[in-house]
Amino acid sequence: MNHTDGNTMTCGLIGNPVRHTLSPLIHNSIAEMKGVNLVYVPFEVPKGGVKNAVRGANALGIKGLNVTVPYKSDVIDHLVEIDPLAEGIGAVNTLVRTEGGFKGYNTDMSGLYHAMQDEGIVLDGECVVILGAGGVARPVAYLCATKGADRVYVLNRTYEKAEAVAKEVNNALDESLGEKIIPMPLDDYKELLDREKRFFVVQCTSVGLFPDVNSAVIEDEKFYKHVYAAIDVVYKPLETKFMKLVKNAGGKVFSGLKMLLYQGIDAFELWFENEGIKISKEEADIIYKSLMMEVLGATNVILEGFMGSGKSTVSELISDKLELELIDTDEAIEEAEGRKISEIFEQDGEEAFRDMETGLMEMVISEHMRETVISLGGGLPVREKNRELLKRAGKVVYLRTSPETVYDRLKGDDTRPLLKSENPLARIKELQDERGKIYEEAADIIVDTDGKSPEEVANEIIAAIGFAD
């Protein structure tokens, strides 16, 4: 990350709660990419503290702020100016320093529109269906109507809430646009199918949010046959049941994580508009991959398994496919020690080598290493402390391989110190009996490798983690 000094600028996020925000990952990554001397930090503001937070940020020279729940409307009274889009939406999520204070913008909606454009979604003359009438529905309806959608339906279980959203947005729209927002009870969705042949859907409810991952607000497959594209504002899990239903029916889907990414990018570009900073599609894609890994709990992809399970080959394939760095713990220790593993065993003993493995994993944690494929030595997970470290380091994948397959792959290899036995197959079975349960305990994902090529195993791991198309 960027080095901080007396010239370091500060941006941040105000809201409550903010401890689990992904925004620092977005903005600090952009700052590093662009060589901007800036740090981005979250500020948890207590109830009733918005006024003081904005005044304090101005007094301290904070360059810009994001605003999250529950303060997106409350903050408006403490701004010196507000952008027309944010004013029409009635919510602000980005503050840009200007003379005398802060100007408010809404990059939630520009970020959503940016994400739509990135996915090739065109709203002109189209029909949009919004599922839900909560806090997100109103700005989404306003955005879609002002960006050319011909009809915007708001479906909600409580019709009165959908009706209130429609009334508010229709009143906020320019009279020339007419009343584009149409409220409808959620249970009447079949009537919508009679009216409209195809539509773009924005899923704005909390249905499908972890841990309720097996639900969708509408589960009727007939509905999804009319959906040509959709976004779910939920991004945990990365692929909700709603998205799976759209995909299974042939529609195009994208996650709310892309909306989160672009609202952050749009905010950063507003803060540095005078410097002309723009984030390219290629740079955005790099940050999006980081966000995906964070959401998937796969900040690093870690491969464990018995010797001969294919860890080295498969890890190289995953590294290439996902464009991640690669570390082989055995090779890293050999390079650091200037000796082969067999020499370390002979000269210092196995316990000393295991200490080296633990030290390496502690370094991975302390250095906040991320976006790396780590291929583990076969015995590394045996230590309980190492298993604890692995859980903190990323997504652990166990390559499970039968003793016979291991023996077939390794027979004749005299560089393996633990296989120097009169009966190598029996020794393999003995060690696997000892380690199998341990590997399973450490693993988030188990992949059986017998009868599969390294390419097949790599693809299975990528799909299991959540990176498959």
pLDDT of 321: 95
User: Is 193 part of a structural domain of the chain?
Assistant: yes
Answer yes or no: is pLDDT of 10 > 70.
Answer: yes
Higher pLDDT, 178 or 102: 102
Q: Is 235 annotated as a binding residue?
A: yes
Say yes or no: 356 and 456 in one domain. Answer: yes
Only one residue has tokens 């304090």, namely: 56
Domain end position, chosen among 228, 250, 272: 250
CB 192 within 8 A of CB 183: no
Active-site residue identified among 34, 47, 72, 385: 72
Share of the chain above pLDDT 90, in %: 85
| Greater pLDDT, 217 or 416 | 217
3-state class percentages of the chain: helix first, strand second, coil last, to nearest 5: 50, 20, 35
Radius of gyration of the chain (CA): 27
- Residue 261 is assigned to a ligand binding site: no
pLDDT value for 431: 87
290, part of any domain? no
What is the DSSP pairing of strand 127-131 with strand 372-375? unpaired
Separation of alpha carbons 79 and 64, rounded Å:
13
| CA 132/CA 205 separation, integer angstroms | 5
- Note the pTM of the prediction, 2 decimals: 0.87
Query: What is the average pLDDT across 304-333?
Result: 95
312 labeled binding residue: yes
Do 193 and 79 belong together in one domain?
A: no
Would you say residue 1 lies in a domain?
no
The answer to the question of whether 68 is labelled as a binding residue is yes
Long-range contacts at 365-368 (CB < 8 A, ≥ 24 apart) = 365/389, 365/392, 365/393
Tokens of 11: 């941006």
Q: Note the pLDDT of residue 343.
A: 93
pLDDT tens per residue across span 138-184: 999 999 999 999 999 999 999 999 999 999 999 988 887 878 999 99
User: Measured in whole angstroms, how far is the alpha carbon of residue 186 from the centre of its chain?
Assistant: 30
Q: 286 lies in a domain?
A: no
Cα–Cα distance, 360 to 380 (Å, whole number): 10
| pLDDT for 423 | 82
> Do residues 123 and 93 share a domain?
no
| Count of CB atoms situated within 10 Å of the CB of 257 | 22
Q: How many domains does the chain have?
A: 3
246 and 265: one domain?
no
In a domain, 292, yes or no: no
Q: Is 415 annotated as a binding residue?
A: no
Whether residues 269 and 314 share a domain: the answer is no
Verify that 184 and 312 share a domain, yes or no: no
Per-residue confidence (pLDDT) for residue 427, from 0 to 100 = 85
- Mean pLDDT of the region 374-392: 95
In this predicted structure, what is the pLDDT of residue 2?
59
Residues 302 and 443 in one domain: yes
Segments forming the whole domain that contains residue 231: 116-250
The answer to whether residue 337 is domain-embedded is yes
Share above pLDDT 70 across residues of the chain, in percent, rounded to a whole number? 97
pLDDT digits (tens, 9 = 90+) for 48-99: 999 999 999 999 999 999 999 999 999 999 999 999 999 988 999 999 999 9
Residue 161 assigned ligand-binding role = yes
pLDDT at position 1 over 70:
no
Given a cut of 80, is residue 430 above it in pLDDT? yes
Binding residue per annotation — 15?
no
pLDDT of residue 408: 86
Same domain, 214 and 360: no
Long-range contacts of 358-364 (CB under 8 A, 24+ apart): 358/383, 358/385, 358/386, 358/389, 360/329, 360/332, 360/333, 361/329, 361/386, 361/389, 361/390, 361/393, 362/389, 364/300, 364/389, 364/393
Report residue 236's pLDDT band, with 50, 70 and 90 as the boundaries: confident
Q: Which two tokens stand for residue 13?
A: 């996020």
Question: What whole-number distance in Å separates Cα of residue 124 and Cα of residue 86?
Answer: 21
Q: Which residue has the tokens 């990528």?
A: 462
The pLDDT of residue 422: 74
Give catalytic status of residue 321 as yes or no.
no
**CA–CA separation, 400 and 353 (whole Å):** 24
Query: Domain with 90 in it: what CATH number?
Result: 3.40.50.10860
pLDDT of 469 strictly over 60: no
Q: Looking at the structure, do residues 236 and 137 belong to the same domain, yes or no?
A: yes
312 and 446 within one domain: yes
Was 329 annotated as part of a binding site?
no
387 is annotated as contributing to ligand binding: no
With CA atoms as reference, report the closest residue to 129 among 207, 227, 249.
227
- What length is written for the chain? 469
Q: Check whether residue 418 and residue 391 sit in a common domain.
A: yes
Structure tokens at 162: 């959908």
Whether 289 is covered by a domain: the verdict is no
Q: What is the CATH number of the domain that holds 363?
A: 3.40.50.300
| Structure confidence at residue 418 (pLDDT) | 60
Tokens coding 188: 């009447």
Q: Would you state the structure tokens that stand for residue 265, as one six-digit string? A: 């990018």
In a domain, 291, yes or no: no
Estimate the crossing angle of helix 384-393 against helix 350-366, to 10 degrees. Answer: 30
**Pair (326, 455) in one structural domain:** yes
Q: What are 105-134's pLDDT values in tens digits?
A: 999 999 999 999 999 999 999 999 999 999
Which residue from 328, 302, 296, 299 is spatially nearest to 439, judged by alpha carbons? 302
308 annotated as a binding-site residue:
yes
Task: Check whether 136 is labelled as a binding-site residue.
Answer: yes
CB 300 within 8 A of CB 394: yes
Q: Which of 13-27, 293-307, 338-352, 421-435 has the lowest mean pLDDT?
A: 421-435
The response to whether 256 counts as a known ligand-binding position is yes
Alpha helices (H) along 147-280: 159-172, 189-195, 221-224, 241-248, 256-271
